């Protein structure tokens, strides 16, 4: 006769085997489910890796393309001051100082062009708030309404990015109802 204490462990082992047998009734379906789960995970991981590679390549290309942006932004005020010096030196265009400064200006313009910097067209163009910064409006003829009358500071683009907006004065036709009023 089996003692009472010995029956319980044996029954527990039998119950485990019966549970395992019922769970393992179709081991292939479990394996197929695992395979599908891991296959889906592998496909998603491959897609994530491909997207990461594309994004990294795009960011690297953009970083190389616009790497000099900060340097060029810092150089623009120097060029502005140089242009003011050129205006002062233009009183005597035959002087050696003016001729030398003109050569330097050409070199600066060539350098900017080589870096992909272009000047924003402004004088006489229609005001575009994306590339122009209006500092004031002046009364003008109807043909010049909304057009740039003067440029206070030149603006520049670095390829397709705005480096610095052009600071301009925009023409505005005075309307009859605002002629006697001050704004």
pTM equals 0.64
Tell me which residue range forms the domain holding 167. Answer: 118-183
Q: What is the pLDDT of residues 115-161, one digit of tens each?
A: 999 999 999 899 999 999 999 999 988 888 999 999 999 999 999 99
Provide the domain count of the chain: 1
Are 122 and 157 in contact by the 8 Å Cβ rule? The answer is no
Residue 183's pLDDT band, with cuts at 50, 70 and 90, is very low
Q: Is the pLDDT of residue 181 over 80?
A: no
Residue 72 within any structural domain of the chain: no
Q: Are 44 and 66 in contact (CB under 8 A)?
A: no
From residue 154, alpha-carbon distances to 93, 131, 145, 151 in Å are 23, 11, 21, 7
3-state secondary structure of 139: strand
Strands (E), the chain: 117-119, 132-139, 148-153, 156-158, 161-164, 166-172
Q: How far apart are the first and last CA of the chain?
A: 113
Q: Which of 16-20, 24-28, 171-175 has the weakest average pLDDT?
A: 16-20
- Tell me the pLDDT tens digit for each residue of 49-63: 999 999 999 999 888
Residue 20 counted as domain residue: no
Percentage of the chain surpassing pLDDT 90? 60
Average pLDDT, the chain: 85
CA distance 167 to 159: 19
In a domain, 58, yes or no: no
In a domain, 51, yes or no: no
CATH of the domain at 181: 2.30.22.10
67-81 pLDDT, tens digit each? 889 999 999 999 999
Residue 38 lies in a domain: no
Other CB atoms within 10 A of residue 133 CB: 14
Is residue 39 assigned to a domain?
no
Give a yes or no: residue 41 inside a domain: no
pLDDT at 62: 87
Is residue 142, in this structure, part of any structural domain at all? yes
What's the pLDDT score for residue 176? Answer: 64
The answer to whether residues 101 and 81 touch, using CB atoms and an 8 Å cutoff, is no
Name the one residue in this structure whose structure tokens are 């616009």.
Answer: 66
């Amino acid at each position: 006769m089996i003692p009472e204490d010995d029956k319980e462990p044996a029954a527990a082992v039998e119950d485990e085997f019966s549970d395992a047998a019922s769970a393992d009734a179709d081991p292939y379906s479990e394996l197929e489910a695992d395979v599908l789960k891991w296959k889906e995970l592998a496909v998603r991981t491959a897609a994530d890796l491909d997207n990461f590679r594309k994004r990294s390549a795009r960011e690297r290309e953009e970083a190389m393309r616009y790497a000099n942006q900060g340097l060029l932004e810092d150089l623009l005020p120097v060029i502005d001051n140089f242009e003011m010096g050129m205006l002062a030196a233009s009183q005597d265009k035959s002087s050696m100082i003016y001729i030398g400064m003109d050569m330097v200006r050409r070199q600066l313009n060539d350098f900017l062009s080589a870096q992909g910097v272009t000047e924003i067209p402004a004088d006489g163009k229609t005001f575009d708030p994306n590339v122009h910064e209006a500092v004031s409006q002046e009364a003008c003829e109807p043909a010049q309404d909304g057009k740039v009358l003067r440029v206070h500071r030149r603006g520049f683009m670095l390829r397709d990015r705005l480096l610095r907006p052009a600071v301009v004065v925009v023409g505005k036709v005075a309307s009859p109802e605002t002629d006697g009023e001050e704004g």
